[in-house]
Amino acid sequence: MSMTTPVKKNTSIKRVAILFAGGPAPGANAVISTAAVSFLRNNIEVYGIQYGYSNLIDYSPEKPLEADKHYVNITHKVLKRTRSSQGIMIGTARANPGKHISHPDHLKDPQLSAPMRRVYEGLCSLGVDALISIGGDDTLKTANKFKMYQDTLPASAKRIPVVHLPKTIDNDYMGIDFTFGYFTAVETLASEIRNLLADAEASRAYFLTETMGRSAGWLSYGAAIAGEASLVISVEDIIGSYRTTETVPNPKTGENDTRDIMDVERVVGRIVKLMMARDDERKEFGVIVMAEGLAELLPMKYLEGIPRDDHGHISISHVNLGRMFSKLVSDAYKKASGKSRKVTGLQLGYESRCAKPHAFDVMLGSQLGVGAYRALVEEGHNGVMVSVTGQLQLHYVPFEKLVDPQTLVTVVRFIETGSDFHRLARFLETYVNE
């Protein structure tokens, strides 16, 4: 195969759609453009569905999808020097056509599955023969539901095979070691942390930064390690004495439920111990990194009035974890030490989602894009997630290995407590003898 052009494959796929959903990630255009060019080189048309599922979910024959408004025809000319570009060339959105489907039986309910039906009919109206889904775990769940919905259709109905490409700067995906955009996001946040460290040292102060990472701590840990932060705390760390419970009323049943929460006072106390240990080392400054997902573990008194999205997640941006904890830490430090120390809370994250992608994320994203072509055309797959291992070796993970067949939810990949990655962060932070 050296110095030769790949052989074109015979395929029934004549037109493919690419769709990106959820939050942005650096390297998105490497995925989209490389996937597109792979199909174009095999004389397969490529439509980029604009803004996720937001246009498809409202499709009706009376309101047909329009070119350059609801979708774009991606051509070789469109793809000129796009692989390393910032942003998302087809846009994104969080519209979720499967939000009312939480069990396989719901797919047979005309009302619950109506948004999924409109997505299917919208793609059929465009003459699409296959769908490439790019997104996080919620988008993976939607891709799985889209496949399952088609399984309920009559045998004579058109089938649109779907493959999914994993995307999240949180890196909390089962089935792949690292997701595209993660390392770019880590470096972007680490650079900001290093700047804050210089500021903190100059004024003998602390910054308490809240980074993205709703479910797991990969992003906060990576940023803390690369940015030389003084301490990192994520959901994986709220165990043992840092975890407690509270009783809350269930609005549906009227009965009381018990939920796991963090012991806020205990967590604040741990941060204060770090500050006092650094005082002993004559380092009266520092940056502490907290993962935004800790907000999910706050007692309910801190979450009153916080809205939720289509997936049931609280709107973490309304919580402002950094500002909340900075006040608690500042007060607790003064009480414990008798000294005042300025602690400033900052939210970091959005500036990392569309940063200029680093070489590794361009390479990883490009391989995933190629993998979409190979999965659909060369391998004939339907209902798989494209993944890589080692030196970008492609392989394909069936949806059923990633999504619970009854609840239709995915499993989050947390940092394993005690793993070498976890121990690295603990080793590099300021030592506290507890």
Tokens read off for 404: 């619970």
CA-to-CA distance for 148 and 204, rounded, in angstroms? 57
Is 70 exceeded by the pLDDT of residue 7?
no
pLDDT tens digits for range 112-148: 999 999 999 999 999 999 999 999 999 999 999 999 9
* Gap between the Cα atoms of 83 and 94, Å rounded: 24
Helical segments of 8-113, H only: 28-40
Instruction: Give the pLDDT band (50/70/90) at residue 246.
Output: confident
Backbone φ, ψ for residue 9 (5° rounding): -105, 145
Q: Which domains does the chain have, with CATH numbers?
A: 15-179+357-401 (3.40.50.450), 184-354+416-428 (3.40.50.460)
Please check whether residue 38 is in contact with residue 369, taking contact to mean a CB–CB distance below 8 angstroms: yes
Average pLDDT over residues 206-228: 92
Torsion, Cα 193 196 197 200, to 10 degrees, reads -150
What is the predicted pLDDT for the residue at 6? 62
Mean pLDDT of 216-223: 94
CA atoms of 288 and 129, how far apart (whole Å): 49
CA–CA separation, 184 and 347 (whole Å): 18
Q: If you ran DSSP here, which 8-state letter would residue 60 be given?
A: B
Q: Which amino acid is at 122?
A: G
Query: Whose CA is closest to 52, among 108, 86, 107, 98?
Result: 98
Could you give the CA distance from residue 296 to residue 234 in angstroms, rounded to a whole number?
Answer: 11
Task: Return the pLDDT at 324.
Answer: 87
In angstroms, rounded to a whole number, what is the distance separating the alpha carbons of residues 101 and 114? 10
Q: What are phi and psi of 347, to 5 degrees?
A: -100, 125
What's the pLDDT score for residue 269?
95
**Confidence bin at 215 (pLDDT 50/70/90):** confident
Residue whose tokens read 């595209």: 180
The region that residue 28 occupies, defined by phi over 0 for left and psi between -120 and 50 for alpha, beta otherwise, is: alpha
Amino acid sitting at position 344: T
58-99 per-position pLDDT tens digit: 999 999 999 999 999 999 998 888 888 899 999 999 999 999
Q: Is the pLDDT of residue 4 over 90?
A: no
Furthest CA-CA distance within the chain: 77
Q: In whole numbers, what is the pLDDT of the chain averaged over residues? A: 91
Question: Which amino acid, one-letter code, is at 300?
Answer: M
Distances (CA, A) of 119 to 126, 175, 211, 397: 11, 26, 34, 24
